[in-house]
Chains A and B, each alone.
Chain A
């Protein structure tokens, strides 16, 4: 139960952060990615702000024997740079550039009342399912 309440709190903060930072505005995202045009660099500050906090705390947190509400940390143990990582990230970047949405803002958009979010979440899941077949 504690686990679920903390997830909810973290999610709410995350949703407020996405909306305040305007990551939820697809036009702004595309203008951020348009370095050759009328570039709007604002969104780089989202990453700077988020990384300022996570870089400060993450290393010390994962040195702990366990998280406060669970018995272990659930972290990826992969360390090799392989083809799926690079190709997958490149495909994601194409989708991000076309749509102006990454996964977080697609979910947040459901709370902003835009039908675009419904299309995004639905098609993201189609992509997940397609990848499952591709991987078999």
Chain B
């Protein structure tokens, strides 16, 4: 239980929830990052602009916070690039196939009572637990 940070995690969660609430209340959009990223590939101009603004906002927000409070981010070193790219590929493919990721399903979908989102969240959490179990405790990599 070292590095247990429930308060900053909870506070960050509140901000993420507020961000998603604003986007729905004002713009009528779901703050699902994979969906917003995916929509960059095929959208008309208005759709493209708000998506780009939202993604740029995430980059700016992370950048600004990191300038003020650098302690919250520790870069990881020496992680194999091919493995990262393989993981990223699966994240991209899987979120398209399953219509969403942690934000769209677990934060937004569950809040509006979507059975699909509840199912997706349980599935990707279970699959994430299992993957790390296999990697760390059976294959002995990335311990």
A67 touches B24 (CB 8 A): yes
Q: Which 8 A-B pairs have the closest CB atoms?
A: A11-B57, A127-B92, A49-B13, A15-B61, A21-B12, A88-B98, A93-B127, A53-B17
Question: Which parts of B20-45 form the interface with A (CB within 8 Å)?
Answer: 20-31, 33-34, 37-38, 41
Residue count of chain B within 8 Å CB distance of chain A: 112
Enumerate 24 A-B pairs (CB-CB under 8 Å) in ascending A order.
Answer: A7-B23, A8-B54, A12-B58, A13-B18, A14-B103, A19-B73, A21-B12, A30-B132, A41-B4, A45-B6, A45-B10, A49-B13, A50-B17, A50-B20, A51-B107, A61-B24, A67-B25, A69-B28, A85-B120, A92-B127, A97-B131, A114-B75, A127-B88, A134-B93
Interface residue SS majority, chain A: helix
**In the complex where A3-B46, A4-B53, A40-B2 touch, is A120 in contact with B61 (Cβ < 8 A)?**
no
A51 touches B41 (CB 8 A): no
Point out the residues of chain B lying under 8 angstroms from A104, CB to CB.
Answer: 33, 58, 101-103
Point out the residues of chain A lying under 8 angstroms from B87, CB to CB.
Answer: 94-101, 120, 123
B54's partner among A7, A47, A66, A70 (CB-CB below 8 A) is: A7
A85 touches B9 (CB 8 A): no
A88 to B81, CA, bound (A): 23
Point out the residues of chain A lying under 8 angstroms from B130, CB to CB.
Answer: 93, 97
| Minimum CB–CB distance for A46 against chain B, Å | 4
A30's partner among B46, B72, B101, B142 (CB-CB below 8 A) is: B142
B89 touches A88 (CB 8 A): no
Interface 0/1 of A101-126, CB less than 8 Å to B:
11110111111111010011111111
B residues at A contact (CB < 8 Å) = 1-31, 33-34, 37-38, 41, 46, 49-51, 53-66, 69, 72-76, 79, 81, 83-99, 101-103, 105-116, 119-121, 123-133, 135-137, 142
| Minimum CB–CB distance for A64 against chain B, Å | 8
B61 touches A93 (CB 8 A): no
Q: Name the residue of chain B whose CB is nearest to the CB of A29.
A: B128
Interface 0/1 of A39-59, CB less than 8 Å to B:
111111111111111110111
A127 to B58, CA, bound (A): 21
Point out the residues of chain B lying under 8 angstroms from A125, CB to CB.
Answer: 37, 41, 92
Point out the residues of chain A lying under 8 angstroms from B27, CB to CB.
Answer: 3, 6-7, 10, 67, 69-70
